[in-house]
Amino acid sequence: MPPRPLVTERTVLDAADAGRDRLAVPPDALVTALARDTARDRGVEIVTSAGTPAALPADPPRQPTAPAKTLAVACDHAGFEIKDALAEHARGLGWTVTDLGTDSAASVDYPDFAYAVARAVHLGQVRLGLMIDGVGVGSAIVACKVPGVRAALCPDTFSAFNARAHNDANVLTLGSRTMGVEVCKRVLAEFLTTDFEGGRHARRVDKIRDVEARFLPGTPGAA
């Protein structure tokens, strides 16, 4: 099956910069979460090539707690070869997995997909997120920009345990070019089966939230 056409933030920005308020895409196009948000912000309507509005699911209201054992998974081209294996591993541990792309090894930009995972966590659509790129650093940086998301690059099981038990991390990033698939499976299993310990760690996580709140729009005394 050929890969679906990909519509990214850059596609939308190019249309907006050209003065267009409509962007025609193939009916089967994969429109990234960042592209959808950028289209809304820039006043660009995404439609199919037939001229009808593209099927872009609206964001649901943010839920206080996402359904238990729900996981959003995404990758860039570097992580594509191991994404399905990790998603299947999570399902084997009893998790419901939502695949947010990409769906081929064609080159894409990791921020589009890291953002999609982080947004799903932020909105309460899923409990946890997994993003795989070449090293995992870039995706962790992107995901941590989304309020309420605490992303952690974990190269080993101890890091995964600590990220969940002490930091209440809710997005795991992995590097396909620095970790083998079997190591990734073990790290993912540790991340998914470890609960936040609370206690003294809750005070520290609250301080993370306090730092984040200082830079949110409309926060009194921000920064």
Say which residue the tokens 């966590």 belong to: 121
What's the rounded Cα separation, in Å, for the pair 65 and 88?
A: 24
Residue 45, strand partner residues: 22
Q: What is the pLDDT of residue 63?
A: 47
Q: What proportion of the chain, given as a percentage, has pLDDT over 90?
A: 72
Token digits for 1?
Answer: 């099956």
Say which residue the tokens 């090539």 belong to: 49
- Check residue 48 and report its DSSP letter: E
Token digits for 118?
Answer: 């982080």
Say which residue the tokens 């809304």 belong to: 40
Q: How much of the chain is helix, strand and coil, in % rounded to 5?
A: 40, 15, 45
Helix, strand or coil for residue 192? helix
Average pLDDT over the chain, rounded to an integer? 90
Q: Are strands 70-75 and 45-48 parallel, antiparallel or unpaired?
A: unpaired
* Active-site residue flag, 166: yes
Catalytic residue among 77, 89, 122, 166: 166
- Check residue 106 and report its DSSP letter: S
Longest distance between any two alpha carbons in the chain, whole Å: 57
Q: What integer is the mean pLDDT of 120-147?
A: 97
Residue 53, strand partner residues: 47
Query: Under a CB-based contact definition with an 8 Å cutoff, are residues 96 and 67 in contact?
Result: yes
Residue 151, strand partner residues: 171
Per mean pLDDT, which range of 31-45, 84-98, 114-128, 163-177 is the poorest?
Answer: 31-45
Say which residue the tokens 């830079």 belong to: 215
pLDDT at 58 over 70: no
Spell out the residues 6+ positions from residue 215 whose beta carbon is closer than 8 angstroms to its own: 222, 223
Q: What is the pLDDT of residue 16?
A: 92
Say which residue the tokens 């429109």 belong to: 31
pTM, 2 dp: 0.82
